[in-house]
Amino acid sequence: MRRAIEIESRGSLLMVQNWLEELRGNIEITDKKFSELSIIAAELSENIIKHCGKGKIEIVYHDSEHPYIVTVSENVGKLSERSSEDGISSKDSLGIGLGIVYRLSDEVFYEQYGKILQIRSIKYCTDFPSRTEVAVLSYPTLADDKLNGDAFLILKNKSDLLCVIDALGHGKDAHQSAMAALNLVKKNHKKDIDKLIGDAHEFLKNSRDLRGVMMSIIRIDYKANKILSCGLGDVMTKIFLPNEQKTLYPLTRDGIVGDHFRRVTIQKFEIVRGAIIAVFTDGISSKLDIPLAFRAENLVRLVNSMVKKYGRSYDDRTLLLARIL
């Protein structure tokens, strides 16, 4: 079930709440979860009206093993380092801050397309025990370019899967190639992660209109207590440990998925509670470092400050941070 609502006046807020009530009558969701979902949708809608004049809210229900609802806000705005704090408002900001949205959401993702900021809030319908919190920030190269050559995927189940993709070049063709590879990974996500990269290579190699990509895939296997990692090309992964000034460096092989392919191998690391996994494209400097004093920081503020410090404006930039709870 899906509904997109143009937000232009306070009458639009009523349309959002009416749709949520209609959705509630057709799904199973706890009262507490629904109340929190309503607040998230209302806060995002209010900020559009107050600070942008108009925008769009899309609400999508996903019927999976652990059903969840995605609320997508799309409007003109900028994400600042303090956006996740309550009561923050400044010129071109998102209004009162995203603190309440961040607290009530099970996951929050952000993507910037020129002047357009897209916020995706995920709320599970039942008390599904999330074992990671994730924040992502992704920008395209040009200020007016709405098509990003980077793509990312987060799937949560008995094990969690994280995937970041960087297509060669920029713009429309890079975006199509990145999304094609991402959709293939999503469709076959239960396969071993090295097989997912191999399958993407064969698919892209035999597609006349698609270019090569670089990609890294992480699987957090809670049953085995392992972090599995593999990648090809310049999409790096670092694992920052919580209680010591130590960083683990999963290696990626040189090459291009869909072009110059080299067989990848899966590396395994012990799960450490509180560790932060960073997966990022080459639009983020390889010098990316999260000092020990900041490893318990609010993840939304952290991803924004890291992109601001280490991002390269001349390239597509994506940084995914996942903290193991």
pLDDT tens sequence across 157-171: 788 999 999 999 888
Query: What is the pLDDT confidence band of residue 98, given thresholds at 50, 70 and 90?
Result: low
Query: Is position 197 within any domain?
Result: yes
pLDDT at 19 over 80: yes
pLDDT at residue 299, rounded to an integer: 85
Query: Is position 129 within any domain?
Result: no
pLDDT at 96 over 50: no
On whether both 176 and 48 belong to a single domain, the answer is no
User: How many angstroms separate the Cα of 47 from the Cα of each of 12, 13, 244, 270, 299?
Assistant: 12, 11, 39, 42, 21
Query: Is position 136 within any domain?
Result: no
Indicate the average pLDDT of the chain: 86
On whether both 209 and 73 belong to a single domain, the answer is no
Percentage of the chain lying above the pLDDT 70 cut: 88
Over its C-alpha atoms, the chain yields an Rg (Å, rounded) of 19
For the CA atoms of 100, 101, 105, 109, the dihedral, rounded to the nearest 10 degrees, stands at: -140
Query: What is the pLDDT confidence band of residue 312, given thresholds at 50, 70 and 90?
Result: confident
More confident residue, 214 or 63: 214
Strand residue runs (E) in 96-235 = 107-113, 116-124, 132-139, 150-156, 159-167, 213-221, 226-232
C-alpha span between 190 and 105 (Å, rounded): 26
pLDDT at 188 over 80: yes
More confident residue, 298 or 232: 232
Last residue of a domain, one of 124, 153, 181: 124
pLDDT at residue 47, rounded to an integer: 79
Domain count, the chain: 2
C-alpha span between 293 and 317 (Å, rounded): 25
Query: What is the pLDDT confidence band of residue 113, given thresholds at 50, 70 and 90?
Result: low
Residue 264 tokens read as 């990848």
Domain with 68 in it: what CATH number? 3.30.565.10
What range does the domain containing 189 cover?
141-324
Query: Is position 130 within any domain?
Result: no
pLDDT at residue 78, rounded to an integer: 57
Percentage of the chain lying above the pLDDT 90 cut: 48
pLDDT at 117 over 80: no
Of 136-140, 235-239, 255-259, where does mean pLDDT reach its minimum?
Answer: 136-140
pLDDT at residue 325, rounded to an integer: 87
More confident residue, 105 or 323: 323
Strand residue runs (E) in 107-158 = 107-113, 116-124, 132-139, 150-156
Domain with 266 in it: what CATH number? 3.60.40.10
3-state secondary structure of 257: strand
pLDDT at residue 90, rounded to an integer: 45
Query: What is the pLDDT confidence band of residue 72, given thresholds at 50, 70 and 90?
Result: confident
pLDDT at 211 over 70: yes
User: Tell me, what amino acid is at 173?
Assistant: D
Query: Is position 134 within any domain?
Result: no
On whether both 26 and 119 belong to a single domain, the answer is yes
Question: Taking a C-beta distance cutoff of 8 angstroms, is the pair 69, 58 a contact?
Answer: no
pLDDT at residue 129, rounded to an integer: 64
Query: What is the pLDDT confidence band of residue 109, given thresholds at 50, 70 and 90?
Result: confident
pLDDT at 92 over 70: no
Candidate ranges 67-81, 124-138, 161-175; pick with highest mean pLDDT: 161-175
pLDDT at residue 140, rounded to an integer: 83
On whether both 211 and 118 belong to a single domain, the answer is no
On whether both 189 and 43 belong to a single domain, the answer is no
Of 131-135, 215-219, 223-227, 235-239, where does mean pLDDT reach its minimum?
Answer: 131-135
On whether both 91 and 185 belong to a single domain, the answer is no
